Chain A
Amino acid sequence: MADTTLTEGAAGAPARKPFPLAGVAVPLLALALLAYPFVFRLPFQHNLMILVFLYASLGQAWNILGGYAGQSSLGHAAFFGVGAYASSLLLVKFGIVPWVGMLAGGLVAVALSLLIGYPSFRLKGHYFVIATIVLAEIIYILFTNWPFAGGAEGLFLPLLPEGVVNFEFHSSKIPYYYIIFAILAVVTTVVFFVERSKLGFYFRAIREDPDAARSLGIDITRYKLIAMALSAFFTGVCGTFYAQFVLFIEPNNSLNFMLSVLIMLIPVFGGSGTLWGPILGAFILIPLSEFTRVYLSGAGRAIDLTLYGLLIMLVAIFEPRGLWAVVTRFRSRETLKWRFWKSQV
Chain B
Amino acid sequence: MALLEVTGLTKNFGGLAANQDITLSVEDGTIVGLIGPNGAGKTTLFNTIAGLYAPDAGRVVFAGADITGWPPERVCRAGIGRTFQITKSFRQMTVLENVMVGAFLHTFSPRQARQAALAAIEKTGLLSRKDMLAGNLTVADRKRLEVARALATRPRMLMLDEAMAGLNPKERQEAVELILFLAREGTTILLVEHVMEVVMPISHRLVVLDYGKQIAEGKPEAIARDERVIKAYLGERYRAPG
Contacts and interface: CB of A to CB of B under 8 A. Distances in A.
Interface of A: 1, 5-6, 9-10, 13, 16, 196-198, 201-202, 204-205, 208-209, 211-220, 273
Interface string B104-121: 110110100111001101
Interface of B: 50, 52, 71-73, 76-77, 81-82, 84, 88-93, 96-97, 100-102, 104-105, 107-108, 110, 113-115, 118-119, 121-123, 127, 130-131, 149-150, 152-153
A201 B108 CA distance: 11
Contact of B108 (A198, A204, A218): A198
A201 B77 contact: no
Contact of B113 (A198, A213, A217): A198
Contacts, number: 99
B89 A209 contact: yes
Given A10-B114, A10-B118, A201 B127 contact: no
B197 to A, nearest CB: 26
A216 B73 CA distance: 6
A212 B122 contact: no
Main secondary structure on chain B at its contact with chain A? helix
Contacts of A208: 89-93
A6 B118 contact: yes
Contact of B101 (A16, A197, A216, A273): A216
The 3 closest A-B pairs by CB, nearest first: A208-B90, A212-B88, A217-B76
A213 B89 CA distance: 10
Given A198-B110, A211-B52, A218-B73, A1 B127 contact: no
Given A1-B122, A10-B114, A215 B76 contact: yes
Contact of B73 (A6, A9, A13, A217): A217
Contacts of A197: 108, 110
A99 to B, nearest CB: 32
Contacts of B82: 215
